[in-house]
């Protein structure tokens, strides 16, 4: 199966998102529920009250919240807002040979510790000993076809760029992978208006040998699939 299979979803209307990780949603049945919002960013443009959303439902009695917010309906596209999806989808897509820039590796490992205080999302290895470190970022902010990351200041993201640059300086291949969880992006740029320090570090990382790989996604209410390559602008 080439894609991330979404669980069965319930549709409803977003009332509001608050405290970063909570959202009130009125289901189509009329019931109002509190859903977990698995996205720590600002979700600029993806949390407009009154907009249609989709939730997954858990039967795990240990969970505090039964529902998880998965999708948001933007004017021209569905948007995947769950930041746990990109790591799973990108890893699976690499293993299936769907990302040509990251093909040819014999092993793919997740959550690899690279220094005392840093982990990166993936380590790709060849039997010959070659290594490729990959950090994956979920991008949901798109305006007039231009995808931007981040949508809020991210000191953690800045640290990841520093780590990738360091690993590249040691002779390793290092990649920052932006997965755009929507279908209306035509170009990508760092959001220097939102986080100028991140934008500057990204440009510096590229100068130091860090590669950028960008894909959009193909989304419906059943599955999220890896999509086409998106070009970089202003780096």
Integer Cα distance of 164 and 158 in angstroms:
10
Confidence of residue 81 (pLDDT cuts 50, 70, 90): very high
pLDDT, position 224: 98
Does the pLDDT of residue 220 top 80, yes or no? Answer: yes
pLDDT tens, position by position, 52-79: 999 999 999 889 999 999 999 999 999 9
Does the pLDDT of residue 24 top 90, yes or no? Answer: yes
pLDDT, position 234: 82
Integer Cα distance of 9 and 173 in angstroms:
39
| Contact (Cβ atoms closer than 8 angstroms) between residue 73 and residue 52 | yes
Integer Cα distance of 149 and 203 in angstroms:
13
Integer Cα distance of 214 and 178 in angstroms:
5
What is the chain's mean pLDDT, rounded?
A: 96
- 155-169 vs 196-207: helix crossing angle, rounded to 10: 10
pLDDT, position 2: 85
Domains, the chain: 4-80 (2.40.50.580), 85-229 (3.40.1350.60)
Q: What is the mean pLDDT of residues 211-234?
A: 96
Burial state string for 85-116 with b = 16 or more CB within 10 A and e = fewer than 16: bbbebbbbbbeeebbeebeebeebeeebebee
pLDDT tens, position by position, 100-142: 999 999 999 999 999 888 999 999 999 999 999 999 999 999 9
Q: What is the mean pLDDT of residues 155-177?
A: 97
- Could you give phi then psi for residue 156, rounded to 5 degrees? -65, -45
Does the pLDDT of residue 158 top 90, yes or no? Answer: yes
> For residue 26, how many other CB atoms are within 10 A of its CB?
15
Strand partners, 226: 217
pLDDT, position 117: 87
| Neighbouring residues of 99: CB distance < 8 A, sequence distance ≥ 6 | 90, 93, 213, 215, 226
pLDDT, position 1: 63
| Contact (Cβ atoms closer than 8 angstroms) between residue 11 and residue 28 | yes
């Amino acid at each position: 199966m080439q894609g991330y299979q979404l669980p069965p979803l319930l549709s409803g209307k977003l009332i509001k998102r608050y405290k970063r990780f909570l959202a009130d949603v009125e289901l189509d049945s009329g019931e109002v529920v509190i859903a977990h919002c698995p996205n720590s960013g600002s979700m600029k443009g993806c949390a407009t009250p009154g907009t249609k959303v989709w939730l997954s439902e858990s039967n795990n009695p240990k969970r505090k919240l039964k529902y998880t917010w998965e999708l948001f309906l933007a004017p021209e596209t569905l948007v995947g807002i769950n930041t746990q999806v990109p790591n799973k989808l990108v890893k699976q897509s690499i293993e299936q040979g769907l990302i040509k820039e990251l093909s040819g590796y014999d092993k793919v490992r997740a959550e690899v510790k690279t220094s005392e205080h840093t982990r990166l999302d993936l380590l790709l290895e060849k039997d010959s000993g070659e290594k490729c470190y990959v950090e994956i970022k979920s991008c949901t902010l798109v305006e007039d076809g231009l995808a931007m990351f981040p949508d809020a200041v991210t000191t953690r993201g800045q640290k990841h760029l520093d780590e990738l640059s360091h690993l590249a300086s040691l002779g390793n291949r290092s990649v920052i992978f932006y997965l755009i969880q929507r279908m209306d992006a035509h170009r990508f740029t760092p959001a220097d208006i939102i986080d100028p320090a991140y934008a500057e570090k990204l440009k510096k990382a590229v100068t130091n040998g860090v590669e950028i790989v960008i894909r959009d996604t193909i989304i419906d209410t059943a599955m999220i699939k890896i999509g086409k390559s998106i070009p970089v602008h202003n780096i």
